[in-house]
């Protein structure tokens, strides 16, 4: 039995991957923007710490946002 891959099948497959990637990029960008806003409005961070965190988040993009969510956000959560 021979299976033939039609051009429309391939186009549909890659279009699906493209839309999935677009949605993933949008979600990750929203997470990055949230980290920037959360850091900028965190009253527990001192001025110098806040600037350093903002620079880390800005220049390391997703990695910086993840680092902030794990390490920097704990100050806001502890009362």
Contact 17, 32 (CB under 8 A): no
pLDDT tens digits, 4-27: 555 566 666 666 677 788 889 999
Q: Is the pLDDT of residue 30 over 80?
A: yes
Task: Return the pLDDT at 20.
Answer: 81
Task: Return the pLDDT at 36.
Answer: 96
Task: Return the pLDDT at 17.
Answer: 73
Q: Please report, rounded to a whole number, the percentage of residues in the chain having pLDDT higher than 70.
A: 72
pLDDT tens digits, 46-76: 999 999 999 999 999 999 999 999 998 766 5
Contact 53, 68 (CB under 8 A): yes
Backbone CA torsion sign across 27, 28, 33, 38: positive
Integer Cα distance of 57 and 36 in angstroms: 7
In the chain, domain spans: 29-79
Backbone CA torsion sign across 68, 37, 75, 50: positive
């Amino acid at each position: 039995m021979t299976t033939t891959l039609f051009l429309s099948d391939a186009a549909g497959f890659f279009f699906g991957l493209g839309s999935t990637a677009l949605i993933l990029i949008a979600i990750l960008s929203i997470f990055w923007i949230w980290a920037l806003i959360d850091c900028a409005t965190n009253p527990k961070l001192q001025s110098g710490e806040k600037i350093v965190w903002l620079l880390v988040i800005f220049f390391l993009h997703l990695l910086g946002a993840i680092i902030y969510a794990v390490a920097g956000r704990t100050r806001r959560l502890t009362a």
